Amino acid sequence: MSGGPLLEVTDLRTHFLTSRGAVRAVDGVSFTLERGRTLGVVGESGSGKTVLARSIMGLLPAHNVKRDGEVVYEGRRLTGLAPSELREIWGAEISMVFQDPMTSLNPVVRIGRQITETMHFHLGLPDREARSRAVELLRSVGIPEPERRLRAYPHELSGGMRQRVTIAIALACGPKLLLADEPTTALDVTVQAQILSLLGRQQRERFMAMILVTHDLGVVAGRTDEIVVMYAGRVVERAPTTVLFSDMRMRYTQALFRSIPRITDPGHRRLQAIGGRPPDLVAPPRGCSFAPRCRYARERCHVEEPPLTDAGPGHAYACWYPAEPGEVAAEAASAAREVAG
Amino acid sequence: MAGSGTAHLRDGDALLRVENLVVEFPAGAGRRVHAVSDVSLDVLTGETLGLVGESGCGKSTTGRAVMQLPRPTSGQVWFEGRDLTRLGGDELRRTRTRLQMIFQDPISSLNPRRSVSDIVGEPLAIWQIGTPADRRRRVAEVLDAVGLDAESAGDRRPHQFSGGQCQRISIARALMLEPKLVICDEPVSALDVSVQAQILNLLEDMKARYGLTMIFIAHDLAVVRNVSDRVAVMYLGKLCEVAPADDLYRAPAHPYTATLLASVPVPDPAVRPDPSVSDLDVELPSPLAPPSGCRFRTRCPRAEAVCAEREPQMRQMAPGHFAACHFALEPSAAAAGHTSWRERRDA
């Protein structure tokens, strides 16, 4: 089975059953991820990116959830596994790093035990060995005085330090896939840069694949091989990272890219905001879910849902009236020239 | 940074002039948190001052101390020629109507049990301005200005609105008493990118329409550049650098400002992440016992012995461009043209 891709997600659906009806948080997502590669998942809040990560992991509530589709990891169907079987995979094969490092660490357990716990469970390491490995791990994630830190409680550490600890825990058993869900959103910008570099370095050293979930196009630009853009629970565009930025086609991707202020822009530049807000996932609009906010939308967009259309190797988008190839990149380049001139 | 001094204050009449502001909080056992240590700032009428820095740098505390919420430990806050720190209760309340604040979390800053028109009309009711009919008219007018329909929105409660719309309501409330100065504390950081752009554009529109002066506090450097005329960078309770926005971003003089700018992720795969940021010491010093001399020295790539001994004072690096650093980066490149600081550093 080692010949195939590391992870294959096919038509994954996760609907939450509420009194208002089914919330279609993830609604038919497919992609594959090769070993050692990085996939960025970009979207705004409510786009389904976090639920997607949790669905891959199998971290969903037991009740009032309707799941469909397949997640295949190294040839094994994760979607069919019982929780007891999933525990063999969590941490050992697939790990996760969450947004808020305070709530993902146990506040009343010392750092050291939180790191060695998974090594006891998965690798059966004796105490001494697990501790010395924990020290090594803390050192490798850039925590000064690791021996002393093992005895610290989470509240004694800053937010950046805590996130380094959660990364150390995630890496402890050498997983082949790391799911990082907004790992730097709660952190300051200099700390964010450090944590992202740390993740990249660990990934290269361990030949580990990563899914990096974020709302920030800046975060994925320099640090991923491939990107999927999500909107209203679906993938609306998918491309190798450089292709996406040079050749984005889907109108939502384009609008998102245009709406962000940049540090290189001159001051007081009028931002191109996207009007309205994301759709209600209980009753998504007919046709393209972005159509009500899209300034290029025509009649067809409100009636018929656009399929994912191939636009080149690895590049697909779902849009009836897409941007011309290279249109957005040309715009950005001319804006940059304006600044320089 | 960590420096002090008032060389960057401008002559003439600023709308707001903060001098030697100190805010300390008791931290038990006789210790004190030095949240803001000797910060001076001024804002001219019609100007937007951006205040940036990482969490814990004292930027929000500075904004609140201007409002006297709470009163600063020492220092003066001159607003329209009067020192707010010396005004008594009633006079302060009256003066404060011309200073308004917009907060980060739009939902928790609105009373969930009251209707939107009550929330927005409350300032008028408190000061008994106009008849009830006048007030209703004014509420409708301002709600309309911020892009909400008074007819349909007025009777609803905050939970029926999205975060972006709640921020519009907060903005409407802040505008009711026709303030001169609006202090925005992270007004868009809780919002999605697409909504963030709407609110930033709205703030610019309101500024033009109502002739506002603004202090814009945020950690996002790109957002701050978009709205600010002048930018002040803070670190651990001190001011590092103050300059016109374009100069500061094109040619930062303080090593801390340069580090901040190098950390910002750029939405362009051709720009590789700056590796120098990873070398930055990961430990932020405690505000309970800040480092001697320059407070940034423990993490600064250019620090030398003198940085621990003497606190750098604000000095002029280029016209209007001030930094507090013994070994400031040469800002002359800013005058020379378009060489970015990235290129200069690599050269």
Q: What is the DSSP code string of B310-342?
A: SPPBPEEEETTEEE--TT---THHHHH-S--HH
Domain A7-224 in this protein, CATH class: alpha beta
What SS3 state is found at A74? coil
CA distance A171 to A100: 17
CB contact under 8 A, A262 and B263: no
Residue B42, both tokens? 């001024």
Contact residues on chain A for B106, CB-CB shorter than 8 A: none
- The alpha carbon of residue A330 is apart from the nearest alpha carbon of chain B, in Å, by 13
Count of CB atoms within 10 A of residue A65's CB?
A: 16
Length of chain B in terms of residues written: 347
CA distance B341 to A234: 40
Of A160, A215, A221, the CB nearest to B268: A221
Note whether A142 contacts B: Cβ–Cβ < 8 A. yes
Q: Which residues 83-122 in chain A show a CB within 8 A of chain B? A: none
Give the residue from chain B lying closest to A224, CA to CA: B269
Give the residue from chain A lying closest to B339, CA to CA: A340
| CATH superfamily placement of domain B16-98+179-346 | P-loop containing nucleotide triphosphate hydrolases (3.40.50.300)
By mean pLDDT, which of A204-213, A246-255, B275-284 is the weakest? B275-284
CA distance B42 to B324: 16
Residue B55 φ/ψ region, left for φ over 0, alpha for ψ in the -120 to 50 degree band, beta for the rest: beta
CA distance B287 to B55: 12
CA distance A86 to B244: 56
Closest CA to A219 of A53, A43, A87, A57: A43
What percent of chain A has pLDDT above 90?
Answer: 74
CA distance B281 to B259: 12
Which of A138, A164, A188 has the most B C-beta neighbours within 10 Å, making it the best mutation to test the interface with B? A188
CA distance B185 to B218: 7
The pLDDT value given to residue B3:
65
- The alpha carbon of residue B199 is apart from the nearest alpha carbon of chain A, in Å, by 9
CB contact under 8 A, A193 and B198: no
| Residue B226 vs residues A275, B48, B196: alpha-carbon distances, Å | 19, 10, 12
Confidence of residue A341 (pLDDT cuts 50, 70, 90): low
pLDDT in tens, A125-143: 999 999 999 999 998 888 8
Residues B192, B195, B201, B205: is their CA dihedral positive or negative? negative
Contact residues on chain A for B261, CB-CB shorter than 8 A: 263
Residue A321 φ/ψ region, left for φ over 0, alpha for ψ in the -120 to 50 degree band, beta for the rest: beta
The pLDDT value given to residue A2:
55
CA distance B66 to B183: 9
Location of structure tokens 């590789």: B272
Chain A, chain B: beta-carbon pairs less than 8 Å apart: 152
The pLDDT value given to residue B346:
44
The pLDDT value given to residue B286:
85
CA distance A114 to A130: 11
CA distance B290 to B294: 9
The pLDDT value given to residue B337:
37
Location of structure tokens 């994925």: A220
Q: What b/e string do you get for B85-120 counting C-beta neighbours within 10 Å, with b at 16 or more?
A: bebeeeebeeebbebbbbbbbbbebbeeeebbbebb
Average model confidence (pLDDT) across chain A:
92
Note whether A262 contacts B: Cβ–Cβ < 8 A. yes
All residues at 6 or more sequence positions from B121 whose CB lies less than 8 Å from its CB, including other chains: B135, B136, B138, B139, B176
DSSP letter at B10? Answer: P
DSSP letter at A284? Answer: P
Closest CA to B243 of B234, B233, B235: B233
Note whether A273 contacts B: Cβ–Cβ < 8 A. yes
Environment class of B135 (CB within 10 Å of its CB; exposed 0-12, middle 13-18, buried 19+): buried
Domain with CATH 3.40.50.300 in chain B: 16-98+179-346
Strands B321-323, B315-318: pairing kind: antiparallel
Residue B345, both tokens? 């550093």
What SS3 state is found at B185? strand
* Local confidence pLDDT in tens for the 347 residues of chain B: 456 788 899 887 799 999 999 999 998 888 999 999 999 999 999 999 999 998 889 999 999 999 998 899 999 999 998 999 999 889 999 999 999 999 988 888 899 999 999 999 999 999 999 999 999 999 999 999 999 988 888 899 999 988 889 999 999 999 999 999 999 999 998 888 888 999 999 999 999 999 999 999 999 999 999 999 999 999 999 999 999 999 999 999 999 999 999 999 999 998 888 877 877 777 778 888 899 999 999 999 899 999 999 999 999 999 999 999 999 987 554 433 333 444 444 43
Residue A41 has pLDDT above 70, yes or no: yes
CB contact under 8 A, B222 and A269: no
All residues at 6 or more sequence positions from A308 whose CB lies less than 8 Å from its CB, including other chains: A235, A238, A316, A317, A318
Residue A237 has pLDDT above 60, yes or no: yes
* Domain segments of chain A as ranges: 7-224, 231-340
Helices assigned H by DSSP within B264-304: none
Rounded average pLDDT over A163-188: 92
CB contact under 8 A, A197 and B273: yes
Q: Virtual CA dihedral for B300, B301, B302, B306, nearest 10 degrees?
A: 50
